[in-house]
Amino acid sequence: MNYTRATSKVKIAWYVTGHGFGHATRTIALARKILKNNSNIEILFLSQKKQLNFIIKSLSKFKKQVFGRVNTYDISLHLKSFDEPDVERMEASLNDYLSHINEIITNEAPILKEFETQFIVSDCVPHAFAVANTLGIKSLLLTNFTWVKMYEGILGKEQTQLRQMYNLADYFIQLIPFREEIGISPYTKRGFYCRDFSEEKSSEIRKHLLENYENIVYFGMGMSVEYSNDLKKFFDNNRKTAFIIPSSFPKISNNCYPIPIDETESQNFAMAADYVITKAGWSTIAESLISGKSMVVLNRKNIPEDITTIEYLRTLGIQSISLDKILNPLVSEIPFKQVNIAEDKRVFSDILNLIREA
């Protein structure tokens, strides 16, 4: 693929981890604002195939400014169940990733050079900074956690190579509730942001569902979490509630409404709900807080990222509850808490300023 464009163009390479779809959605939120107001900026996104396709589709309005490249090597969270990491698979995945680092850098550096990349953003792929270092260009780490904490917390082993790659970053935006000693300086602390909501679309969803139900629950288990048969009993026990569920779940009860598989704007479904039950994924939490939804968070006590997020949410009065305990009560008995926070719009200007400085 030939990425060559006029020299007046500003060209960014943006790495997005394939860990679920939350990193992709928050990348889309920023990219839309950047591309809308800066027609001279072009972005090459590098991610796993599913996430990359989602990003490109979500940014179809900016076809002339957006390019994609599948990021062959990445690391992620692998699970045996909702709250049980697959330690063996994670260790094997990490070893495979680290054993190919030199090959990855050798293969990706020429691609970014051909694109005439002037700046690299990574959320939160470690080797992006090694590639940036090889090319001699500035880089930004933008994340609420690093794979250092995830892998050290789950595997119980120091991750020196991962830490060394992250430490090559020139800039660091720590998204709340980041809490790690990673050693990158300078850094900036920022809050939650998300894709813009469509009040019209959200109202349409509400009107349709409330024709037959008393309230709506957005059930944010995530696209990468497998469906459990135990959920059917919960849905069946709450017949007066319409449940919006991930597109990856089967419609196991008549009151379940999977988000259409080709839908890119899931934030409007969260906005349409009265209540949110969700795992502690950063993007869904951001959408719920910014839209002021009454919510409760599913506790995953063995996932370091979730532990940090849940501890922060407790300071806001939002409770966490285990999945098995939430399957028994009626929706009216669940301890929802409504909190409304303002979107932190500074992240957008932060990135633009860094791009201009580069």
Nearest to 68 by CA among 115, 113, 103: 115
Residues of the chain with pLDDT under 50: 1-7
Same structural domain for residues 96 and 226? Answer: no
Same structural domain for residues 16 and 154? Answer: yes
What pLDDT, in 10s, does the model give residues 110-119? 999 999 999 9
What is the number of domains present in the chain?
Answer: 2
In sequence order, which residues have a C-beta less than 8 Å from that of residue 312 and are 6 or more positions away?
176, 177
Q: Is residue 3 part of a domain?
A: no
Collapse the DSSP code of 243 into the 3-class scheme (helix H, G, I; strand E, B; otherwise coil) and give the result. strand
CATH number, domain of 333, equals 3.40.50.2000
Same structural domain for residues 68 and 128? Answer: yes
Q: What are phi and psi of 257, to 5 degrees?
A: -130, 95
Q: Is residue 2 part of a domain?
A: no
What pLDDT, in 10s, does the model give residues 22-47? 999 999 999 999 999 899 999 999 99
Same structural domain for residues 111 and 245? Answer: no
Domain, as residue range, for 352:
10-193+344-357
Amino acid identity of residue 235, one-letter, is F
Q: Is residue 186 part of a domain?
A: yes
For residue 338, count CB atoms less than 10 angstroms from its CB and return exposed for 0-12, middle for 13-18, buried for 19 or more.
Answer: middle
Query: Can you say whether the dihedral through the CA atoms of 309, 82, 324, 219 is positive or negative?
Result: positive
Query: Percentages helix, strand, coil for the chain, rounded to the nearest 5?
Result: 40, 20, 40
CB-side exposure of 249: number of CA atoms within 13 Å?
A: 24
